[in-house]
Structure formats: structure tokens, C-alpha cells
Amino acid sequence: MAVRTYRVEGMTCATCVKRVEKALAGVPGVDSVQVNLATEEAVVRSRGVADGALAAALTARGYRLLPPQAPDPHDGNVRRAGYRVAAAWVLTLPLMAGMVPGLHWHLPWPVQAALAALAALGAGSGFFLRAARQALVLETSMDTLIALGASVTLGFGIHEGLRGAPHPPFETAAGLVAFLLTGKYLEARAKHRATHSLGDLLRLAPATSLRLEPDGSEQTVATSEIRPGDRVRVKPGSAVPVDGVVLEGRAEVEEALLTGEPLPVAKGPGDPVLAGALVHGGALELRAAAAGQDTWLAKLAQQVAQAQGSRAPAQELADKVSAVFVPTVLGLAALTLAGWWWHAGTLALAWRPAVTLLVIACPCALGLATPVAMAAALGTAARNGLLVRDAAAMEALARITDLALDKTGTLTQGHPALVAVTGPDRVAVTGSDRDLVLRLAAALERDSEHPVARGIRAAAEGLPRAAVADFRSYPALGVEGRVEGRDLRLGNAEFLGLPLPDPEMGMAVGLAEGGRLLGALVLADPQRPEAKSAVAALAAQGLRLHLLSGDRPEAAAALAAELGIQNVQGGCTPAGKQARIRELQAQGAVVAFVGDGVNDGPALAQADAGISLPGLDAAQAAAPLNLLREGLEPLLQARRLALRTRRVIRENLAWAFGYNLVLVPLAAFNLLDRFGGPMLAGAAMGLSSLTVVLNALRLRD
């Protein structure tokens, strides 16, 4: 059994995934097929099937099969889509000039027909090609609807031009294609960014490593050359390139972006470290345990891709009914033609009600209902600091029942900050006593980039600065030096040999002179100032709130109790967060997840609406909704915009379907002929599309 991975070009939605799987599975010898929309890859298990046979099966359905090492087609595809949008609007705008009040400029109808044909059949040729291929295998989609609407309207315009009508509706055919191509282009750009950004997960690990040779020398090599068992040195301030075990050295390793633990973790001989973690305070010598695609970080990226591929985006209502809508319209048009031919006895009188019905039923408003509303919503979202990578997630955000939140960096600020200074008796000190302890500690931490040091220095802003002499650092333990003539040590209880407070949340470091404790500095990851009000606002919407954190269970429980979140789970691994969301979805819940770290990647991808907070590109890679402004207020704005967008889309679809339900029967019984027949149908179709567009533009407010 051979297992091969291919890249598939041309997929745009979950329906495409099903068609690709069906086409490949239908090739004799193929045992199973798994298609991932996020990575645009197909994994094929087969017995002796040639690549040419698989490629031919997809070509017949309008897709391309490429080897995995082929150049990435996304850049060229997005660029060509942009050219098509530009060409469509250049050809369409002259046709719309006559609609501007006071501008009496009308091109001869043959020129209008040529411009409309170039816009519809040239720039919009993809709609027609895909519709034709689907028709060959007896399938329909929105492409079928678009091709039918544009071609019938174009044909009707040519007929009206030959009859000498003053305003043939060519702008309708061209404008329909221009609007739809714009929507497709925006979708292609968003998907392009989302697909490429998955690589940001792997880029957290450095591309090069310091490998220790048998003779003790160091050699800089590509990380891809590291093999299990190799000895690797990681300098302070650098990221760990591989998964491994510490052989020598002591340091504190910052793993907040990987595990959710907000405070650095002390590492020494025998302790495991993960690729992508940051080393502070000392150098580490590691024995590589896994490198490349076998690291925990790489497997995390694979989890993200799998979750994105397994999530089935909600299909638009128009897509769901298209398979029934098109055959129904064609059948009604044929019955109308046959009925009036039989009734009138001549084809010359029978074609008008049939053409009127086709033009009335052309799905211009239906085709525009969702993409125009979504395009307006995307612009508003961008202005409000929300990047939408997946329209289905935006739709899901409006109908969620459960909202799960990460702790570190989401409900909290994601970095240690000073919360208290205590004296030797463990009682909080204030005033000059507090300032003295804080000023001396900040002097010792003056040149350190350790997260705890940054927190101490931030708290000491505004206090007089002191110089330090005879400075020495002891990785993962503490520091010492002479400040203002006093020999001081700053560090943990083990380093000082003195008892320190054990706070429920956070950590404590002590400042000692000789064997006497001057004071202890308690640091914790403080909650965001707006967290309580934001949580209350979300709960008021009837959402069930959950806190899923990789931090200690007691720390997660304490924060949940303070914010009023009933459902809490601490000590979660990335897979554990993802599993909890799957469990809620299995119970029928529609789940949104909000997070900011790499450890949130699988949960962000698994959720119906994954929302990342700003800070880390790799977390945004996994989330279809990216908040670009700090704080939780943008989350509330995103939810409000999603609800408005859903309401506008429903209004548009209701109008589009209602328009057809009312006018199609009138056209079939030829009750519109006295008002102009096909001419009225063309005007009504244009008015319907205009109504949908104007309603969608309300989302720009």
C-alpha cells in the first residue's frame, strides 16, 4: 500500500473537498483519500495507481493535482485573481455611467455588448468553465447559478439591443461578475495568508544550531542537520532549536508561548526542554531527542493543520439550495415555453414569458447576497482591528453557544508584574520601606532581560537609579552584587537559604543582605483591567463561559472564581484543550475559543470560531479570526459585528428568495408581459441586486 501526498489547486470550500475526495476515490486502485483544505493537500492510499490517472480524475472536475515539491501556486493565483477583478471593473464602469444622475452618456449597444461579454465571459470565464465541467458530471453549484444569470442577462441584452431598446441591461451581466470576482479575490487573499502562516509555528525554532563536535569544538549548522543524540549548546537569550534533555548548565526557560505557563521554569541537568522555548540567565548544553518534523513544535503544527482540515465550514444557504434551484428554474422555464407554445400555437409568442421567467429567476441577488455583505463586513472588521481569515468562522461567531478562553495572555497580561512587597515578617510594606527594597532589587536586575527582571524594573520606574558593582549571576537561582556599599543577593529561597512567601498565584523572590532578609517581591501574572467587565458582558449574552489553561489548576481556579467563570480546567495540554472543545461540539455546542499562545493552536483551529489575540504570528496562523488591537474590547466588537453580519445576510437572502417566489409565478403566467415582459424582468433583477448591495453597505457603519 503506497501513501502519497499531493497538492491540489483550485479548492475554495468544503464542497470542493468533497468533490476532490470523490474524484480521487473513484480511481480504480485507490483505497482511501484524505483532503485538507487548510494545507491544500491530499493524502492518497493506493495500490499501484499512476499519478497521471489521479491528475486526470481531478482535471475533469476542474482542479489540478501537483506533486508536493511543486512551487507554491498561491502567489500566482491571487495575483491573477486581482487582475481579473481589475479587468472586470474597467469593463463594467463605462456601462454603469448612464446610471449616474445628470450624466447623459450612453455607448452604442454593440459596444456595450462587447464590454459586457468581455467582463462576463473573459474576466468571469472561471465561473463558466467550472459550471460546464460540473454539468458534464450532472452537478450544480453557485458557479452554475452565476453562469446562468450572466449568460441569460447578456443574451437578453443583445436581443433588446437588436430590437432597438434604449437601455439594454448589459451593466447587470457585467456588474454581477465584477461583484462576485471581488468577493472571490478577498476570500483568496485571506486563505493565502492563513495557509502561509502555518509555517510561523515552525519558525519559532531557530534555523541554525550550535552543535558540539566530539573534540569539544562548536560548529554552526542548519537545525535540519541535527540528529537525535547530537550535543547542542543554547546561549542565553536564544531559542531552543530541538527537543532535548539538559546535560550541563542551569537556566530559566520561558515556555509561556508553548505551554501557557506564564513564569519561567528552572532547568538543569536531566530536565527536558522543547524546541521554540527561550533561554534566560545561562547557557544550556543539550542532548537532542527529536529534531525537525519530530519535535513537539512540529507535531503541534501538524495538529493545527489537521484540525483546520477536519473542521467543516458552514455552507451558505444559497449553496445548499443551488442543486435544487437551477434544475427547478430550468424546468419551470421549459414548462412555461411548452405551455404557452401549446396555448398560443406559435413559438414567437411563447418565448417571451419563458425568457421573462429565466431573467426574473436569474440568481443575481442570490449570488450577491452573501459575498457583498461579507465584503462590507470584512472592511468594517479591519477598521475595528479584526482580521477575518475564514468567513465561515465569522458566521459561526454569531451563533456560538459556548465561549472558551485561555488564561495566560488572554484574561491576564501574559508577563510577571509586581503585586506586593513584603518585609521579613511577611507583612506587606509600603512607603519608603517598599521603595528601598524595590530600588535595590531593580539595581541588581538592571541589565537582565529575564521576564522577572523586567517586571521588577517596570515597578521601579520613577525611583532613583542605583549602580551595581561586582555583579554575578547564578542561572535559575539568582544574582548578587554591591549596591550603595551593601553586599546584596536577589533570588529564590534555595539561593538565599531563607524562607520566602508561597503565594497562591505567582512567585516570590527575596532580597537579602548577608543572612538577613530585607524583603520579598511577589510577582504574578495580573489579569487584564477589562477582563471582569468583558466576561460579564459575554455572560449577559447567554453564553456559557469556560476557562481552559495550561497554568497550574489552582491558579486557573482562583482567576475563574474572581471573574465569575463557572467552568474551569487547569493544567491543560494543547491536545487537552482541543479535546475539551471536541467534547463540547459533540454535545451540540457551537464553540468559540480565544487564545494567544502556540499551545492554543489546536484549540483555535478546532473551534467553530477560533479567535487569537495580538502578539504572536504563530497563534494567528491557527485562528481564522485575528484580533489586531490589545485588550478584550475588540472581542466584544467582533461578536457584535458577527451578529450584525448574520442579520444582514439573512435579510439579503430573504429578499432574494422572496423576489423570486413572488415574481416567478407572475412571469410563468405571463402577467408581466403587459408591463414590458423581459424588459421589466431585467429592471426588476437590477433593482433586486441594488437592494441587496445597499442593505449590505449598512455594515460599513
Integer Cα distance of 243 and 258 in angstroms: 12
Q: Residue 284, class by beta-carbon neighbours within 10 Å (0-12 exposed, 13-18 middle, 19+ buried)?
A: buried
Residue burial 439-454, b: 16+ Cβ < 10 Å; e: rest: bbbbbbbbebebbbbe
Q: Give me the sign of the Cα torsion angle 130, 135, 138, 143.
A: positive
Q: Among the residues of 27-107, which ranges form H helices?
A: 51-59, 74-96
Continuous segment of H or E residues that includes residue 688 = helix 678-696
Q: What angle do CA 334, 335, 337 make, to 5 degrees?
A: 65
What lies within 8 Å, CB to CB, of 276 at 6+ separation is: 204, 205, 239, 240, 257, 258, 297, 598
- Grid cell at residue 696: 449590505
Integer-rounded Cα radius of gyration of the chain:
32
How is the beta sheet containing 567-569 ordered, strand by strand?
386-388, 625-627, 609-612, 591-595, 402-405, 544-548, 567-569
**Residue 228 burial (CB count, 10 A):** 13
**CB-based contact 683:358 (threshold 8 Å):** no
Alpha carbon separation from 178 to 117, 199, 221, 371, 513 (Å, rounded): 12, 33, 51, 12, 75
Helices 574-586 and 296-310, axial angle in degrees (round to 10):
20
The 8-class DSSP code of residue 477 comes to T
Q: Among the residues of 69-169, which ranges form H helices?
A: 74-96, 109-117, 125-136, 142-162
Q: Which of 143, 406, 596, 608 is catalytic?
A: 406
- Grid cell at residue 158: 443583445
Continuous segment of H or E residues that includes residue 192 = helix 170-197
Integer Cα distance of 86 and 181 in angstroms: 9
Continuous segment of H or E residues that includes residue 285 = strand 284-290
For 357-406, the three-class secondary structure string (H helix, E strand, C coil) is: HHHHHCCHHHHHHHHHHHHHHHHHHHHCCEEECCHHHHHHHCCCCEEEEC
- Phi-psi category of 416—alpha, beta or left, where left has phi over 0 and alpha has psi -120 to 50? beta
Integer Cα distance of 211 and 367 in angstroms: 58
Q: What angle do CA 681, 686, 689 make, to 5 degrees?
A: 125
Active site residue 406: yes
For 575-643, the three-class secondary structure string (H helix, E strand, C coil) is: HHHHHHHHHHHHCCCCEEEEECCHHHHHHHHHCCEEEECCCCHHHHHHCCEEECCCCCHHHHHHHHHHH
In the chain, the amino acid numbered 658 is G
Integer Cα distance of 265 and 252 in angstroms: 5
HSE-CB of 141 using CA atoms within 13 angstroms = 23
- Grid cell at residue 351: 418565448
What lies within 8 Å, CB to CB, of 386 at 6+ separation is: 625, 626, 627, 628, 634, 637, 638, 641
Longest CA pairwise span in the chain (Å): 114
Q: List, by residue number, the catalytic residues.
A: 406
